A and B are shown apart, each in its own frame.
Chain A
Amino acid sequence: MLSNTTALLGKELRTEFRSRELLTTTVVFILVIVVLFSFTFDPTSAESRRFAGSLLWLAFLFAASLMLQPCFLREQNNDTLSALRLSVADPFAIFVAKLAANTLFLLLTEVLMLPVFSILFNVPVFPVFGQLVVVLFLGSLGVSIAGTALSAISAQARMRELLLPLLLLPLLTPVLVASTYVTIGLLDRAPYMEWKGIGFLATFDVVFLTALWLFGEYLLEE
């Protein structure tokens, strides 16, 4: 399975870095959201510290729902999903490659957005950059696992463009709450790591990954 996953991850990265469609769109979209938030909400420094975590994760979540949409839709253009299903020994490899690529793209977008966010909301992120990346990784992984699975489901449905955000946003509420909780702690005047939130995120990731491993094959069927 490892060699299949590596080959498919290579394909995902190559096609994206060749077209840059997803990354460009998502970066622009998230930038617009963050700037709009800063226009409509003019916080004091204390308020920023209190609300920045929520705003940041809301922006990331909206961006993720945009980024994850084409994940399986793109495989339908030339029915390449059928070719993949006929070629891989374990269909879980298809999911692992896609969610790894999605996590990487999301993380990249988030890391690019942090300095902009820091400036617009006057919240110093660099002293806690390392810890923030841990939260971003666990949160983005959760978003990608659930989003990749739902993308596979919604790609075969009618109203597919509308279905993913409708399914994804409610399902990711626990990730949003836990990630926000941990991020607010890190952006505090005296930063601290909220380990309970980290534990919750790690558990969410493991549970959803296991469910995907067990039931993923059925999501790919016509």
Chain B
Amino acid sequence: MTPVDSPAGIRFENIEKRYGGLYALRRVSLEIAAGECVVLAGRNGSGKTTLLRIAAGLVRPSSGSVTFLDSGKGPMQGAPKVGFVGHATMVYDELTAEENLVLFARLLGIAEPADRAGILLAEVGLDDRRSSLVRTFSRGMRQRMAIARALLNQPEVLLLDEPATGLDPQGVSWLAETLRRMRDAGHTIVMSLHGKSEISSLATRAVRLEAGSVMADTRTGGSLSSILTFVGA
């Protein structure tokens, strides 16, 4: 994998997100340096998904700001390329695997959409099912499609919300290997995970959220193992 041209970090400043009277996030301040691989840990409802969706620009925070940083930790000129894998697969059931990737590649302005789609289908192991409708896929195959879609534009920042959902052990190994190569090439990776796994071992940092607040961070003293173990508990 070729090194990233413009590595990007993320700075969350005093992020709050309220849904009516319910706080999903409370004054979250976090700085993720370009090239870091961060695991967001925490119980269900702790705010991991909301934080990732705010970083992706899908949810507007009630207050606070998100800034993308260059490798010198200054505000980035323009927005970086962001890849996002959410809880849902974010692909169309009524289109084939190839049609889905070509569609999103075209929307992203990728020069040779069919070629890029072909490369990714081979990479995620769905080359032989390229002409099958996604609705005929198993959950694991759909998750591979979701990951392929997120990688289309070779993102500088990759945001993954429980990316191993539905993947079989071979799929988890493939994903871990892909993420390891991306991390080593300087991509910034932020992912939410439940428990220790092959994928969590890639983390260079872990942050634990509880009830919408940062409760532990390996950068400020918590150990990677304790944070990840807590999640598994």
Which B residues contact A (CB, under 8 angstroms)? Answer: 53, 56-60, 82, 84, 86-95, 99, 103-104, 106-109, 149
Contacts and interface: CB of A to CB of B under 8 A. Distances in A.
Given A86-B84, A221-B60, A222-B58, 12 more contacts: A3-B109, A4-B107, A11-B103, A14-B95, A15-B92, A15-B94, A19-B94, A77-B88, A78-B88, A79-B88, A83-B90, A83-B91
Contacts of A15: 92, 94-95
Contacts of B91: 78, 80, 83
A78 B89 contact: yes
Interface in A47-94: 77-80, 82-89
Interface residues of A, number: 24
Interface of A: 3-4, 7-8, 10-11, 14-15, 18-19, 77-80, 82-89, 221-222
A15 B99 CA distance: 11
Nearest to B83: A86
Where chain A touches its partner, the secondary structure class is helix
Contacts of B149: 83
Contacts of B92: 11, 15, 78, 80
Contacts of A77: 88, 93
14 contacts: A7-B106, A11-B95, A14-B94, A15-B92, A78-B89, A79-B88, A79-B89, A80-B90, A80-B91, A82-B84, A82-B86, A82-B90, A85-B58, A89-B109
Given A7-B106, A221-B60, A79 B90 contact: yes
